[in-house]
Amino acid sequence: MKTTSFQVKTGSKPAIVDITDRVENFVSGEGDGLVSVSLPHATAGLALMELGSGSEDDLWDRLEFMLPRDHRYRHSHGSAGHGAAHVLPAFVVPTLTLPVIGGEVSLGTWQRIAIIDPNVDNPTRDVVLAFLTSG
């Protein structure tokens, strides 16, 4: 199994960051297998979604409805909304496993691998990649 990890700047505002290229480069030329993409964090998630056409703001709107970034949470420290960020991974999973066929991640035309990070207190995030081949 081939593994790596890297850091991504997500800044001090809620951010959606495209990491598709990093995952694609990691498995390029590596044949067939399953690639795991994981965030070792408790206040962010991953999504496979179209980026660049407005769905980012649509997602924040719906997250604000479902998980308002206010002070209602028991788990409350740091900036407003920290408690919401801790509930997010139950719905927006922090780990995805994707098929790789002939060194290419099997994604649809409009699918991108995105970090969904509502947390304004962690400006950088780690990403762990692991590629398991058929041997």
Q: Which residues bind a copy of itself (CB under 8 A)?
A: 1, 3, 32-34, 36, 38-42, 45, 47-50, 53-55, 57-59, 61-62, 65-67, 72-76, 83, 86-87, 89-99, 101, 106-111, 116, 126, 128, 130, 132-135
- CB crowding 98-112: b at 16 or more within 10 Å, else e: bebeeeebeeeeebb
**Alpha-carbon span 77 to 99, nearest angstrom:** 38
Tokens describing residue 66: 């479902």
* Closest CB to a copy of itself among residues 116, 120: 116
Residue nearer to a copy of itself on the CB measure, 14 or 45: 45
Contact call for residues 7 and 113 (beta carbons, < 8 A): no
- Sheet containing 95-101, strands listed edge to edge, beginning at the edge strand earlier in sequence: 2-9, 124-133, 33-38, 95-101, 104-105
Minimum gap (Å) between residue 35 Cβ and a copy of itself: 10
Residues across the chain: 135
Closest approach of a copy of itself to the CB of residue 109, in Å: 8
Q: Please, what is the minimum distance in Å from the beta carbon of residue 122 to a copy of itself?
A: 11
- Closer to a copy of itself by CB, 21 or 126: give it: 126
Nearest residue (CB) to a copy of itself, 9 versus 75: 75
Q: How far is the CB of 74 from a copy of itself (least distance, A)?
A: 3
Q: How far apart are CA 130 and CA 5, in angstroms?
A: 9
